[in-house]
Amino acid sequence: MSEATCYITPVDASATKVDQRAEWLAAARKVMETEAQAILAASARLDKSLISAVELILGHSGKLIVTGIGKSGHIARKIAATLQSTGTPAVFLHPTEAAHGDLGVCQPGDSVLMISKSGATAELLDLIPGLRESMRQFPPAFLGILGNPTSPLAREMDIVLDASVQREADPEGFTPTASSAVSLAIGHALAIALMQARGFTAEHFSRLHAGGQLGRNLRLQVGDAMHRGDEVAWVAPEDSLKHVVIAMSRRPLGAACVVSPAGTLTGLITDGDVRRALQAHDDIRTLRACDVMTERPSTLSPEALLHEALTFMEDRPSQISVVPVVDGEQRCLGLLRLHDVYQR
């Protein structure tokens, strides 16, 4: 009897790698979908408890002490930072460090927000008597963003915001993912509700963010950042395309303003308009500015905030990279580039 011959089909390593990558992408998308669904479910559960939480915090003259440990501690830090930047005085208190002197940050008139997935966090339960003792002259209000609204911590709270989730987003369902996302979203919801209740405006926001891009965009106007005068390529409607290209090359802002003798904006010629004209015409010697310009282009007022300009330029199907700036009588004052909004 002859020996049987065994044939082994070679494994296509590259195909296996592609399959694995597809699985990674599917898993990543599933995480985001699970977290989004959990946040939507928590949003539907929001009720008068959130209103009561806002009223309770506003009714206390002091700051909001935000605390949690582990992953909930990281979420608590972020919530405290968001509260601070939107007009609600807040500070993060580490529950373990509190027992080693950090309770001194707590003063009568403060209120307390505790973050916990289980609602049975021993460090938080142990912290409550110390908090009550340190503020006994004006007993603190206790609020909880808790993953278990019937837990031991929940019984100690004046108000509980339900942060429960059906399951975590990882395949095994034990990694804090959806629960962390929901707790953070509820914290953000509370912060913005307080922001509205306090009448906190963009002007207030800019004062607290003097060193950042957000603060700059809320503080400065278009007139503070735009290019004007000799920095801008100015052309007349009857100027030749060659003249336009030379002017734009000497003042490379990405566009030329086409203006009337009185300075009124007639149109705008961008680098893209020049390229399209070259593609469409074999002989460009007869082309004038008015032949290639965009009539009635989008414009900005010099009084508009840079934040408004950024939204105007980016939140559209086709992003605008450069915009003419005009006054109330449509006299062109200069150009604002998207790059200028981000420039420090």
H or E element: which one contains 186?
helix 178-197
Distance CA 344, CA 341 (A): 8
Beta 332-337 vs 227-228: how paired, if at all? antiparallel
Distance CA 202, CA 216 (A): 11
pLDDT at residue 9, as a whole number: 60
Distance CA 69, CA 75 (A): 9
Mind listing the domains of the chain with CATH numbers? 26-200 (3.40.50.10490), 222-342 (3.10.580.10)
> Which two three-digit tokens encode residue 333?
């004052």
Torsion of CA 151, 156, 160, 165, to 10 degrees: -20
> Which two three-digit tokens encode residue 22?
């597809």
Distance of CA 186 to the CA centre of its chain: 16
Distance CA 140, CA 11 (A): 66
Beta-bridge partner residues of 331: 264
CB neighbourhood size of 279 (10 A): 8
- Are 125 and 154 in contact by the 8 Å Cβ rule? The answer is no
Place of tokens 């939507």: 40
pTM over 0.85: no
The tens place of each residue's pLDDT in the chain, 344 residues long, gives 455 565 666 656 666 776 888 899 999 999 999 999 999 999 999 999 999 999 999 998 889 999 999 999 999 999 999 998 888 999 999 999 998 888 888 888 899 999 999 999 999 999 999 999 888 878 889 999 999 999 999 999 999 999 999 999 988 888 899 999 999 999 999 999 999 998 876 665 656 555 555 666 667 889 998 999 999 999 999 999 999 999 999 999 999 999 999 999 999 999 999 999 989 888 888 999 999 999 989 999 999 988 888 888 888 777 888 999 999 889 999 999 988 887 65
pLDDT at residue 190, as a whole number: 97
Q: What's the Rg (C-alpha) of the chain?
A: 30
Under the phi-then-psi rule, with left for phi > 0, alpha for psi from -120 to 50, and beta for the rest, what region is 191? Answer: alpha
pLDDT at residue 215, as a whole number: 64
Helix (H, G, I), strand (E, B) or coil at 247: helix
| Strands of the sheet with 90-93, listed across from one edge | 90-93, 64-67, 111-116, 142-146, 159-162
Strands, E, within the chain: which ranges? 64-67, 90-93, 111-116, 142-146, 159-162, 227-228, 233-235, 255-259, 265-270, 294-295, 322-326, 332-337
> Which two three-digit tokens encode residue 195?
């922001």
Distance CA 292, CA 274 (A): 7
pLDDT at residue 182, as a whole number: 98
Q: Which of 185, 43, 40 is nearest to 115 (CA)?
A: 185
